[in-house]
Amino acid sequence: MKDWSRRLTENDQEDTMDIRYFDPLSRAYERMLHALFRPFDIKKWCIVGFTAFLAGLTDCHGTNGGGGGNIRGRQDLEDLIYFPRHAQEWLYDHPVWFLLIIIGLVAIFILAILFAWLGSRGKFMFLDNVVHDRAQVAKPWHEYRREGTPFFSGLSCSASAFC
């Protein structure tokens, strides 16, 4: 039976790895300074900011809003139960508003799909600019077309599974 808890000899100490915790952090900090401030270029900041905006189009962070509201008990329950009937009557009485609401909902749906598509392509554009320390829009837009479209399809499928 071998003893796995043997002591290190001088030869073993030469083979051990020297772990430095702050070296990777220092290199990352220097890379960040070089990418953002050496030299400072407002055009680069605007382009990278634009791609970051596109990348965040589909990130839903919520409003962090509460509500609380006024709790009336039984009256709220009755309003909730009879709401569909009242809404249906109102929509039949106002056909123009009904049509405008339908058109608005279709437009919102189309915009949501457009923003999801732009956001999926924007994520790849932003990552490309950050990784390669450049500020481009057109080149990564075309270069990551093949990756962005399946990513959009995956987002669409996962979003439709929750609806």
Domain locations in the chain as residue ranges? 21-57+95-163
Q: Is the pLDDT of residue 104 over 90?
A: yes
pLDDT value, residue 148: 73
Tell me the pTM. Answer: 0.58
Question: Which of 155, 157, 153, 137 lies closest to 60, judged by CA?
Answer: 155
pLDDT value, residue 34: 82
CB 106 within 8 Å of CB 149: no
Residue type present at position 134? R
Question: Which of 144, 119, 146 lies closest to 53, judged by CA?
Answer: 119
pLDDT value, residue 103: 95
Long-range contacts of the stretch 30-35 (C-beta < 8 A, 24+): 31/133, 34/133, 35/130, 35/133
Average pLDDT of the segment spanning 94-103: 91
Q: What is the pLDDT of residues 33-78, one digit of tens each?
A: 887 788 888 888 888 888 888 888 777 665 555 555 555 556 677 7
Q: Is the pLDDT of residue 100 over 90?
A: yes
Helices (H), the chain: 10-15, 22-37, 42-55, 74-93, 95-132, 138-143, 145-162
Q: Which residue has the tokens 């279709």?
A: 106
Q: Distance between the two ends of the chain, CA-based, in angstroms? A: 61
pLDDT value, residue 2: 54
Q: Is the pLDDT of residue 139 over 60?
A: yes
pLDDT value, residue 72: 57
